[in-house]
Chain A
Amino acid sequence: MRIDSNGARAVASSTVSLAQDRWRPLEVVFWFSLLGVFFVLPERLVLGSQIVYTALFALSLDLLLGYGGIVSLGHAAFFGIGAYTAGVLAVHGLSEPITGLVCAGTLAGAIGLCVSLLVVRGRDMARLMVTLAIGLVLLELANRWTDLTGGVDGLDGIKVSPLLGAFAFGLDGRTSYLYGLAILFLVFVWVRRLVSSPFGLALRGLREGEARLPAIGISVRRMQVTVFTLAAAIAGVAGGLLAQTTQFVGIDVFAFSRSAELVIMVVLGGVGRLYGALVGALVYMVAQDLLSGLNHVYWQFWVGFLLVLVVLSARGGIMGGVALLKARLQRAPT
């Protein structure tokens, strides 16, 4: 993940200052309230742990989309690889959760590295197609390779040993939630540091003026490969969390609709803001849970409607709206 030293130095010594990476009070409140959910809503922790791994997955896409500027329609590929890695390892006896997650992230990252070499070649349309096709190839692979994946029936019989040897994963989701939250927090802190580092600044340059980066000695392709690989690895960790906390992996982890819904969450929350991904995932999952009585297809209709609306009128999503509101309030002090 090291960028070439020339690039880093060129950026760091320019007059552009690094983004503020001091933690704001609101952020602290945000994370403590997530922790508080554990005590306040103990009966909803199963949903909570689903939200947590989805949020981590969304965070990885935000890194790719919002910072790397790469539109992917097949990000579920890496989520699925992570899920199957962690799941298959647990089925075959390696049940220690943290090792499983590390393996899931590593394998997803490694495959992400290979895929990224194809992805950065093309322009937007070809990129879309390559990511889409990779996701479908993996879906078909999981479908056919029944010995390993269980095929359409899904991978059953995942046994995860207690976390740190002390906390068993129960049906109440208590361990799952805290475990997921801890991983989400750690990854988030790391990503947050990353985007406010010189590398993150170079990423911002990538987003705003790709053509000019080579002039200051930064290889665009290398940056994109790095971002893609990191995003794939994080998605793999999210998938691993799914496998370990639900103790089941179905082939739908690779489904196109999962990739599409993920893009929706990130856009809904606000692209390129990190918290947007978390808030988007939270809002989407809670709304889906509240409307779970609704037929899935009609839910899809309204999601589509919302999407069209967001694109046509409300760019920036929820976090964009919040930022706008904040700016208005500051301009008109009461």
Chain B
Amino acid sequence: MLSNFLGVVFDGVAYGCLLFLISIGLSVTMGLMNFVNLAHGAFAMLGGYVCVYSMTRHGVPFLLTLPLAFIATALAGVVLERLLYRRLYASGPLDQVLFSIGLTFMAIGATTYVFGSAQQPIQLPAFLQGQVSVVGVALGVYRLLLIAVVLVIRFGLGFLFSRTRFGAQVRAAVDNRDVCAGVGVDVDRVFCLTFGLGSGLAGLGGTLGIDLLGLDPTFPLKYLVSFLLIATVGGTGTIKGPLATALLLGVFDDAGKYYVPQIGAFVIYVLALILLVVFPAGLFGRRS
């Protein structure tokens, strides 16, 4: 019973870590550029397809596809930011929403055209399959890897944002873009690099998530609410906000599906509504 519960929590944590990895980029772009990017999930999907394509067509080993997916989506993010996104920073939310829905639809259509609408299967390498038993709780090896990767990235990001010059520039630009530009920070460059980083992380998340979330062309819409929720409720300007929200969401969703399957997806939507209403400024948000 207890070990069962712990198993559910563990799976939920792994799921939450994955959601965090994909959504952190969205949270940062939302805080930094004030941009509601509904197409964020499309970057995660791109990462997933890069992984599947290079594995099945070119026999690249799974672990090697991870940096590949990161680089490919980060590049795609930088290019799109330069070409399209930057024109809409000053626009209202309606324009941004329409634009990013448009991009999402295009991504879905293009992916269907190239890869078909079927779920993409993935064959994990043997050493990532199976489970290890820790004090009677069966833990999936792959999920352990997932959690480890996210922990590394979480502390990496923490270091990047709080200890480096670039991080200071990002934080300054989030706080006040005009003043930041006024003291000589190249805000455009900061935006572009951050967007690329966020997209790349989403791509990495999409790749790591194929096994858990599945991968088909409707991916960007299927998980849109989760990503948006983490970014909104998590608040902007911190890393722990999105992480806490993602873990909360992951555990509740998993526990809901396991213990009360008859009410299914209600759990997270209702949780979402409650969180949104109780914390309109985000979990750790600074109320302005």
Interface contact A125-B263, CB-CB below 8 Å: no
Instruction: Given the known inter-chain contacts A126-B280, A136-B269, please indicate yes or no for A312 contacting B106, CB distance below 8 A.
Output: no
**Is B61 located at the chain interface by the 8 A CB criterion?**
no
Interface contact B277-A121, CB-CB below 8 Å: yes
Interface contact B101-A307, CB-CB below 8 Å: yes
Q: Tell me, rounded to whole Å, the shortest Cβ–Cβ distance linking A318 to chain B.
A: 15
Interface contact B97-A73, CB-CB below 8 Å: yes
Stretch from A15-23, A154-162, A298-306 forming part of the interface with B: A298-306
**Is A4 located at the chain interface by the 8 A CB criterion?**
no
Instruction: Given the known inter-chain contacts A122-B276, A122-B280, A312-B87, please indicate yes or no for A300 contacting B228, CB distance below 8 A.
Output: no
Interface contact A301-B109, CB-CB below 8 Å: yes
Instruction: Given the known inter-chain contacts A307-B99, A308-B102, please indicate yes or no for A133 contacting B276, CB distance below 8 A.
Output: yes
Contact with A125, one of B30, B87, B221, B225 (Cβ below 8 angstroms): B30
Interface contact A118-B99, CB-CB below 8 Å: no
**Is A65 located at the chain interface by the 8 A CB criterion?**
yes
Chain A residue numbers with a CB within 8 Å of B103 are 304, 308
Contact with B109, one of A65, A129, A257, A304 (Cβ below 8 angstroms): A304
Chain B residue numbers with a CB within 8 Å of A297 are 108-109, 112-113, 117, 217
Interface contact B36-A125, CB-CB below 8 Å: yes
Instruction: Given the known inter-chain contacts A128-B36, A297-B117, please indicate yes or no for A133 contacting B272, CB distance below 8 A.
Output: yes
Instruction: Given the known inter-chain contacts A297-B108, A300-B105, A301-B108, please indicate yes or no for A311 contacting B263, CB distance below 8 A.
Output: no
Q: Tell me, rounded to whole Å, the shortest Cβ–Cβ distance linking A143 to chain B.
A: 8
1/0 per residue, CB under 8 A from B, across A111-155: the answer is: 000000010011111101110111011001100100000000000
Instruction: Given the known inter-chain contacts A297-B112, A298-B109, A304-B106, please indicate yes or no for A129 contacting B228, CB distance below 8 A.
Output: yes
Chain A residue numbers with a CB within 8 Å of B121 are none
User: For the complex, what is the distance from the CA of A305 to the CA of B272, rounded to whole Å?
Assistant: 31
Contact with A304, one of B88, B104, B277, B280 (Cβ below 8 angstroms): B104
Chain A residue numbers with a CB within 8 Å of B270 are 137
Chain B residue numbers with a CB within 8 Å of A263 are 97-98, 101
User: For the complex, what is the distance from the CA of A301 to the CA of B112, rounded to whole Å?
Assistant: 10
User: For the complex, what is the distance from the CA of A329 to the CA of B232, rounded to whole Å?
Assistant: 47
User: For the complex, what is the distance from the CA of A312 to the CA of B273, rounded to whole Å?
Assistant: 32
Chain A residue numbers with a CB within 8 Å of B99 are 307-308, 311-312
User: For the complex, what is the distance from the CA of A118 to the CA of B101, rounded to whole Å?
Assistant: 24
Size of the B side of the interface (Cβ < 8 Å), in residues, is 45
Instruction: Given the known inter-chain contacts A125-B232, A301-B108, please indicate yes or no for A133 contacting B84, CB distance below 8 A.
Output: no
**Is B264 located at the chain interface by the 8 A CB criterion?**
yes
User: For the complex, what is the distance from the CA of A308 to the CA of B38, rounded to whole Å?
Assistant: 13
Contact residues, B109-157 vs A (CB, 8 A): 109-110, 112-113, 117
**Is B2 located at the chain interface by the 8 A CB criterion?**
no
Instruction: Given the known inter-chain contacts A122-B276, A125-B30, please indicate yes or no for A71 contacting B108, CB distance below 8 A.
Output: no
**Is A264 located at the chain interface by the 8 A CB criterion?**
yes
Interface contact B273-A144, CB-CB below 8 Å: no
Interface contact A140-B266, CB-CB below 8 Å: yes
Chain A residue numbers with a CB within 8 Å of B36 are 124-125, 128
**Is B265 located at the chain interface by the 8 A CB criterion?**
yes
Chain A residue numbers with a CB within 8 Å of B84 are 308, 312
Contact with B105, one of A132, A295, A304, A312 (Cβ below 8 angstroms): A304
**Is A84 located at the chain interface by the 8 A CB criterion?**
no
Chain A residue numbers with a CB within 8 Å of B280 are 121-123, 126
Interface contact A301-B272, CB-CB below 8 Å: no
Contact with A128, one of B93, B106, B265, B269 (Cβ below 8 angstroms): B93
Interface contact B93-A71, CB-CB below 8 Å: yes
1/0 per residue, CB under 8 A from A, across B68-97: the answer is: 000000000000000010011001111101
Contacts A129-B276, A295-B112, A312-B87 known; 7 new A-B pairs at CB < 8 A: A123-B280, A129-B232, A130-B273, A144-B264, A260-B101, A297-B217, A312-B88
Listed in ascending order, the chain B residues whose CB lies under 8 Å from chain A are 30, 36, 84, 87-88, 91-95, 97-99, 101-110, 112-113, 117, 217, 221, 224-225, 228-229, 232, 262-266, 269-270, 272-273, 276-277, 280
Q: Can you list 18 A-B pairs with a CB-CB distance of less than 8 A?
A: A65-B94, A118-B273, A121-B280, A124-B92, A129-B276, A132-B228, A133-B273, A134-B273, A257-B221, A297-B108, A301-B105, A301-B109, A301-B110, A304-B107, A307-B102, A311-B98, A311-B99, A312-B88
